[in-house]
A and B are shown apart, each in its own frame.
Chain A
Amino acid sequence: MDKAGKQVEVAMKWELIKTYTVTRFIVTEYLDGVYVTLWKASTMHMLDKGGTRMTNFNSTNDEKQLEQFMQRIEANDKIEASDWMPDEYRMTLIKLISMHGMSEIMGALPEKEWVPKAPTLQRKLGIMAKVQDEMGHGQLLLRVTEDLLVPYGKNRADLMQDLFNGDLKFHNVFHMETKTWADAGIIGWLVDGAAIITQTDMLKASYGPYARALQRICAEEVFHAQHGESIILALVEGTDLQKAIVQEALDRWWEPLLMFFGPASKETTGSSKQDLTIKYKIRTKTNEEFRQIFFDKYIPRIISLGLKIPDPTLRYDQDSKLWFYEQPDWNAFKKIIKNQGPRSEARLNLRRHSYEYNSWVRDALSTSSS
């Protein structure tokens, strides 16, 4: 080999050594985080297990997992669908979110009744957009529920069946009749207003997927509330008949609005989710606290429009900073949530009919899931 060839060979070797060293350095540098993390995890695990095993990071100890889970809740960590969670947490979420989701869908029904009867084209477009939003919220929330149902092997079809056979409840307000166009206004203004109060409280819920869905839902609810205000303000500034139908609608909706937040304690209906939802930081306030906030925000507005609240006992106590009011008929509430309200069966039938009538679409488009 000549001198030039020797030089090339040395240069190439040097290049190789450099490349190797740099690559090795980069790889090591890149991996050290992984190594150290794995090392930390395995060491912790060995400490946990008395140093008997070091390959399995999974703790099978439920108690330990529960403790770690509650630490995450306390630290305001977000729980995700695939994370370990106690059954009580999962069931509380499923009940809450499936009911919320179905209520969005069932809530679109009383409103859709007013699409053909809306007084102007603009109003028709507005209420159609709102109905579509509600169905969209239902879809978002059912997805959140379905991911929680995975361990039970249940899916959307099961949720629909649960709704039809009465196991899955929908919100008391959506069992009521809508008699005039003013009802569309009251629903947007006050029912959606009440919903905004409970939903914004859960924007920071410990369950990440629900909190994220609520971000979007609450943003759209602002439009719904203003859509309702727009209808109500147009009516109260209108003819005597228009003013009268607003008052008449408020008279009918006042009690359902009080019921909206649920009874103050579980003694009324025998069960209540409020303690569990607070324990797991899904929400922060009790039913009664929500109701008081609703009074704070809406009573002055209702009165400012010259409307009368149909409760002669209603008063605000300066010392306790609480509203005192006549309790709604909680026995009627119990019937309503058992699907024995004025429009419960009619609306369920509409949903059943639509589900069955369109079943051929599901059959035709079904594909292999693998």
Chain B
Amino acid sequence: MGEEKTFYQEYEIFSKRTPSSAFQHQYSLLAPNEEMALIMAQENFMRREPVADIWIVNRKNIKRMNADEKLTLGRLENKDYRTTKGYGYLKKKWRKYEQEILDEKEILSWGGERK
């Protein structure tokens, strides 16, 4: 094993459109090494759209989940206490005190200047 030489190594390509966006998977390609993979990634997948960065990962370095492992990804259905959904009743309670609930939309709007 491993002694056989090949021109075809499998690389998974990830890229992001802007410096602030998250990396996204962009298909895979065959290349003999990382440098060629990078050139081919640009030629194959980034001919038009803006791109800010590219990651090249040899597939042998990726641990994938098999179908049985994917079974562990199921979520319990009674986890409302983890989400704002489980606290929806607060809105009504706050109304009694003549106050608005500080919901996700409100809280995530707080980053800017004081209004």
Which residues of chain B come closer than 8 Å to A349, judged between CB atoms? none
**Interface 1/0s, chain B 21-37, versus A by CB < 8 A?**
00000011110110010
Choose one: B8, B29, B44, B74; the contact of A40 (CB below 8 Å): B74
A155 proximal to B (CB < 8 A): yes
Expressed in whole angstroms, the Cα–Cα distance for A57 and B28 within the complex equals 30
Per DSSP, chain A at the interface is helix
Is the pair B33, A365 in contact by a Cβ cutoff of 8 Å? yes
**Nearest-Cβ distance from residue A69 to partner chain B, whole angstroms:** 10
Is the pair A366, B5 in contact by a Cβ cutoff of 8 Å? yes
Is the pair B76, A82 in contact by a Cβ cutoff of 8 Å? no
Choose one: B45, B47, B68; the contact of A57 (CB below 8 Å): B68
| Interface residues of A, Cβ cutoff 8 Å to B | 32-34, 36-38, 40-41, 57-58, 82-84, 129, 132-133, 136, 139-140, 143, 146, 155-157, 212-213, 216, 362-363, 365-370
Is the pair A132, B47 in contact by a Cβ cutoff of 8 Å? yes
Is the pair A156, B3 in contact by a Cβ cutoff of 8 Å? no
Is the pair A369, B27 in contact by a Cβ cutoff of 8 Å? no
Expressed in whole angstroms, the Cα–Cα distance for A365 and B44 within the complex equals 20
Closest B residue to A363 by CB, please name it. Answer: B7
Is the pair B30, A143 in contact by a Cβ cutoff of 8 Å? yes
Which residues of chain B come closer than 8 Å to A370, judged between CB atoms? 1-3
B106 proximal to A (CB < 8 A): no
B67 proximal to A (CB < 8 A): yes
B20 proximal to A (CB < 8 A): no
Q: A136-B43, A140-B44 are in contact. Are A369 and B29 (CB under 8 A)?
A: no
Interface residues on B, range: 20 to 34
26 contacts between A and B (CB under 8 A): A33-B75, A36-B76, A37-B72, A37-B74, A38-B71, A38-B72, A58-B68, A129-B47, A132-B43, A136-B43, A139-B40, A140-B44, A143-B27, A143-B29, A143-B30, A155-B8, A156-B30, A216-B27, A362-B7, A366-B6, A367-B9, A368-B3, A368-B5, A369-B6, A370-B1, A370-B2
Q: A33-B74, A34-B72, A37-B72 are in contact. Are A136 and B44 (CB under 8 A)?
A: yes
Expressed in whole angstroms, the Cα–Cα distance for A370 and B6 within the complex equals 10
Expressed in whole angstroms, the Cα–Cα distance for A365 and B7 within the complex equals 6
Is the pair B32, A365 in contact by a Cβ cutoff of 8 Å? yes
Closest B residue to A137 by CB, please name it. Answer: B44
| Interface residues of B, Cβ cutoff 8 Å to A | 1-9, 27-30, 32-33, 36, 40, 43-45, 47, 64, 66-68, 71-76
Closest B residue to A81 by CB, please name it. Answer: B64
**Nearest-Cβ distance from residue B56 to partner chain A, whole angstroms:** 15
Expressed in whole angstroms, the Cα–Cα distance for A212 and B26 within the complex equals 10
Closest B residue to A42 by CB, please name it. Answer: B71
Which residues of chain A come closer than 8 Å to B30, judged between CB atoms? 143, 146, 156
Other 14 A-B pairs with CB < 8 A, given A37-B73, A366-B32, A368-B6: A32-B76, A37-B71, A38-B72, A41-B68, A57-B68, A82-B67, A136-B44, A136-B45, A139-B44, A140-B27, A157-B8, A365-B33, A367-B5, A369-B4
Is the pair A369, B9 in contact by a Cβ cutoff of 8 Å? yes
Is the pair A41, B76 in contact by a Cβ cutoff of 8 Å? no
Which residues of chain A come closer than 8 Å to B76, judged between CB atoms? 32-33, 36
Which residues of chain A come closer than 8 Å to B6, judged between CB atoms? 366-369
Which residues of chain B come closer than 8 Å to A157, judged between CB atoms? 8
Is the pair B29, A366 in contact by a Cβ cutoff of 8 Å? no
Closest B residue to A84 by CB, please name it. Answer: B67
What are the nearest 5 A-B pairs in CB distance? A370-B2, A365-B32, A362-B7, A366-B5, A369-B6
Is the pair A367, B33 in contact by a Cβ cutoff of 8 Å? yes
Closest B residue to A29 by CB, please name it. Answer: B82
Is the pair B28, A143 in contact by a Cβ cutoff of 8 Å? yes
**Nearest-Cβ distance from residue B76 to partner chain A, whole angstroms:** 6
Expressed in whole angstroms, the Cα–Cα distance for A60 and B95 within the complex equals 58
Expressed in whole angstroms, the Cα–Cα distance for A33 and B6 within the complex equals 43
Which residues of chain A come closer than 8 Å to B36, judged between CB atoms? 365
